[in-house]
C-alpha cells in the first residue's frame, strides 16, 4: 500500500506574559484562541566550550513602566556582552522544533495513482519572557554593590552583587521592586555561590523611540528580546528565583544549541515525550488540547520531576538532512547567529551542502514543568555526544477515496477498520480523553464490508475469505443459527468442521477394527 508524502500541522506555542514580578513565570501558551499551557516562557541557550549565550524573549502584558527583570548570572556582564535580539527568532525556533501532526493520504488499491506531495504548513508563534521589578541605586547599609550600569536600546541595566539576601531584598524593595515575601530565601543560595544579579528595566524615553514598541489590540506590549553572552564552567539556567511568588506549576521551553550533541539535564532526568503514534483523523481539530493532555499525562507518569525532550536534530553543515518532515525551513546562518550560535561561520561546504553556514550545530528542544516542591534546584545541563534525531511526531492517516469493491479494496477495508480501532485506543491511552462527536469513526467503514466479514463479536475482524472458492456454496446445517431443526441453516463454523472430521475418523477406525476381528476369527 502506498501513501502520499505528509502534510504537517505544527503545534505552535504562543506565549504571553502576565504582569507578575518573577523570573520565568506568568506566561501561558495558546494555539489560536485555545490555551494550551498556562504560565510558560521561552529561552534560547547556545554553548560552545565555556562560552554561553542566553536569549530571553517576551510579549509583556501591561504598562511598560512596571516591567523589569532580574536574572542571576555567574559573572559580571559588560555592555559589549549585551545585544537586543529579534522576536522572530523565537517564532522560527518554535515553528521548526514544535510537536507536529503529520497527515498521510491512503491510496485507493483499486485505482493506483501517482504520489502527490502536499504543501507543508507551519503556524506562527510568539515567545515569552520573565517579568520582574526595577532598581535605582545602592546604599552602603544594604551591602549591595552596583558593579555595572549602562543602557542598551530601550533597556537600563544594572549588574549587582550582594553580601546577604536580606539586604538585597530591602534594596530591591526600597528601589521600587515588587519582591514577594520569602524572596530572601530564594536569593540566598545565589549570593552564597557568589553569583551576580542582572537587573533590567525599561527606559521609557528610549522605548517610545522604538518602532517595535507597540501595543497590540489584545494589550500585549512587544518588548524586544535581550541576549547576553559570558564565559563560565557552569552550563545552567536559574529557575528558583522565578518560583518566589509563583502559584502552581510553571512551564519553560528551552531551545539549546551546542557544537557537540543533544543537550540533557544533568540534575534531573531527561525523558522523551511519547512520539510516532498513529492517532485518529479528528485529532486535527483538537491537536492543541490533545498535546496538552498528552504532556500532562506523560509528566504525571514520571512523578512530575523530569525534563521532557520534544525535539533534537543535528543541523551541522556536514549533515544533509536538517529535518524530516520539515515544518518550516531549517535555520539559516543569519538565524543561527540571531539565536546566539557564535561559532557558526558564513558560507557552505560545497555543492552538496544544504546549509549557508559552516560548523557543527545540534539543536535541542526541552520542555520543563516545575515548581518549588518538585524542582528545588536550578537546571544544570550537559552537552552529550548523542546526535540521534528525535521529534514529537503524531501521525494521522486519511482513508482512500473512491470505489473499493475490488478484491484488494476489500482487504484494505478490513485493514482500515482494525487500524481505526487501534488509533482510537492509542488516543485514549495517551490522553485519558475521548472527544465527543466521533461515534461513527469506525462503524462507517465497517458497514462497507460484507455482512459475514464484519465484527464477529470479539471486537476484531476474522480472517479473509480465500479468493478462488468465494462462489462455492457453503455447507449448511439446520438449526446452526439457533433456530429449531428444519429451518434455514447457517454456514458451518470451524468447530463444526472439526467435529465432522473427528466423527468420520472414528467411524473409519471402528470399521477397520471390525474387519480385523472377522479376519482373526
pLDDT tens, N- to C-terminus, the chain (521 residues) = 444 445 555 554 333 322 233 333 222 222 222 234 546 689 999 999 999 999 997 766 667 777 778 889 999 999 999 999 998 999 999 999 999 999 899 999 998 554 333 332 333 333 333 223 333 344 557 889 999 999 999 899 999 999 888 888 888 888 876 666 667 778 888 888 889 999 888 888 888 887 554 555 555 567 889 999 999 999 999 887 766 656 678 889 999 999 999 999 999 999 999 999 999 999 999 999 999 999 999 999 999 999 999 999 999 999 888 988 888 899 999 999 999 999 999 987 665 667 899 999 999 999 999 888 888 889 999 999 999 999 999 999 999 998 888 889 989 999 999 999 999 999 999 999 988 878 889 888 888 877 766 665 445 555 555 544 444 444 444 444 444 444 444 455 566 667 777 888 888 888 887 777 777 66
Per-domain boundaries in the chain: 7-395, 403-472
Q: Under the phi-then-psi rule, with left for phi > 0, alpha for psi from -120 to 50, and beta for the rest, what region is 347?
A: left
If we measure between CA atoms, which residue out of 254, 253, 283, 327 comes closest to residue 10? 327
If we measure between CA atoms, which residue out of 34, 54, 21 comes closest to residue 227? 54
Q: How far is it, in rounded angstroms, from Cα 233 to Cα 230? A: 10
Contact at 8 Å (CB) between 143 and 33? no
DSSP 111: S
pLDDT of residue 324: 84
If we measure between CA atoms, which residue out of 203, 195, 139, 131 comes closest to residue 172? 139
| C-beta atoms surrounding 224 within 10 Å | 20
Strands (E), 11-77: 14-17, 27-31, 34-37, 40-48, 51-56, 60-61, 68-73
If we measure between CA atoms, which residue out of 95, 16, 101 comes closest to residue 285? 101
If we measure between CA atoms, which residue out of 442, 99, 429 comes closest to residue 287? 99
Residues ≥6 apart with Cβ < 8 Å to 343:
48, 259, 359
pLDDT of residue 417: 92
Peptide bond into 325 cis (omega under 30): yes
pLDDT of residue 206: 86
pLDDT of residue 448: 84
Amino acid at each position: 500500500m502506498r501513501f502520499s508524502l505528509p502534510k504537517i500541522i505544527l503545534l505552535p506555542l504562543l506565549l504571553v506574559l502576565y504582569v507578575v514580578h518573577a523570573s520565568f513565570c506568568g506566561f501561558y501558551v495558546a494555539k489560536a484562541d485555545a490555551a494550551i499551557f498556562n504560565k510558560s516562557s521561552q529561552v534560547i541557550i547556545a554553548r560552545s566550550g565555556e562560552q554561553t549565550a542566553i536569549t530571553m524573549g517576551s510579549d509583556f502584558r501591561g504598562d511598560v513602566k512596571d516591567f523589569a527583570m532580574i536574572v542571576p548570572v555567574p559573572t559580571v556582564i559588560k555592555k559589549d556582552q549585551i545585544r537586543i535580539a529579534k522576536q522572530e527568532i523565537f517564532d522560527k525556533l518554535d515553528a521548526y522544533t514544535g510537536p507536529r501532526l503529520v497527515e498521510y493520504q491512503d491510496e485507493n488499491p483499486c485505482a493506483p495513482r501517482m504520489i502527490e506531495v502536499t504543501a507543508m504548513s507551519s503556524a506562527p508563534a510568539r515567545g515569552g519572557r520573565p517579568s520582574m521589578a526595577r532598581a535605582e541605586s545602592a546604599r552602603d547599609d544594604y551591602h549591595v554593590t552596583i558593579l555595572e550600569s549602562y543602557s542598551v536600546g530601550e533597556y537600563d541595566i544594572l549588574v549587582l552583587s550582594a553580601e546577604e539576601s536580606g539586604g538585597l531584598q530591602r534594596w530591591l524593595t526600597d528601589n521600587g521592586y515588587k519582591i514577594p515575601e520569602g524572596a530572601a530565601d530564594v536569593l540566598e543560595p545565589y549570593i552564597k555561590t557568589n553569583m551576580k544579579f542582572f537587573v533590567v528595566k525599561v527606559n521609557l524615553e528610549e522605548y517610545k523611540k522604538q518602532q517595535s514598541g507597540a501595543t497590540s489590540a489584545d494589550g500585549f506590549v512587544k518588548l524586544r528580546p535581550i541576549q547576553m553572552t559570558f564565559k563560565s564552567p557552569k552550563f545552567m539556567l536559574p529557575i528558583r528565583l522565578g518560583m518566589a511568588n509563583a502559584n502552581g506549576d510553571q512551564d519553560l521551553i528551552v531551545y539549546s544549541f551546542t557544537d557537540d550533541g543533544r543537550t540533557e539535564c544533568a540534575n534531573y532526568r531527561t525523558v522523551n515525550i511519547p512520539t510516532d503514534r498513529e492517532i485518529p483523523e479528528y485529532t486535527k481539530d483538537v491537536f492543541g488540547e490533545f498535546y496538552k493532555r498528552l504532556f500532562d499525562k506523560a509528566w504525571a507518569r514520571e512523578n512530575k520531576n523530569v525534563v521532557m525532550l520534544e525535539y533534537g536534530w543535528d543541523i551541522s553543515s556536514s549533515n544533509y538532512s536538517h529535518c524530516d518532515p520539515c515544518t518550516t525551513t531549517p535555520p539559516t546562518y543569519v538565524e543561527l547567529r540571531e539565536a546566539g550560535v557564535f561559532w557558526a561561520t558564513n558560507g557552505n561546504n560545497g555543492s552538496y551542502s544544504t546549509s549557508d553556514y559552516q560548523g557543527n550545530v545540534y539543536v535541542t528542544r526541552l520542555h520543563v514543568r516545575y515548581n518549588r516542591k518538585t524542582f528545588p534546584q536550578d537546571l544544570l545541563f550537559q552537552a552529550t555526544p548523542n546526535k540521534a534525531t528525535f521529534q514529537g511526531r503524531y501521525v494521522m492517516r486519511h482513508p482512500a477515496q473512491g470505489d473499493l469493491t475490488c478484491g484488494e479494496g476489500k482487504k484494505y477495508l478490513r485493514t482500515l477498520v482494525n487500524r481505526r480501532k487501534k488509533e482510537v485506543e492509542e488516543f485514549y491511552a495517551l490522553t485519558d480523553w475521548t472527544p465527543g462527536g466521533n461515534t461513527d469513526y469506525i462503524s462507517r467503514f465497517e458497514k462497507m464490508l460484507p455482512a459475514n466479514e464484519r465484527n464477529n463479536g470479539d471486537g476484531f475482524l476474522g480472517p479473509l475469505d480465500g479468493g478462488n472458492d468465494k462462489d462455492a456454496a457453503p455447507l449448511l446445517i439446520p438449526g446452526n443459527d439457533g433456530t429449531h431443526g428444519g429451518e434455514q441453516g447457517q454456514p458451518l463454523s470451524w468447530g463444526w468442521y472439526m467435529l465432522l472430521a473427528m466423527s468420520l475418523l472414528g467411524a473409519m477406525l471402528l470399521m477397520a477394527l471390525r474387519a480385523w476381528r472377522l479376519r482373526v476369527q
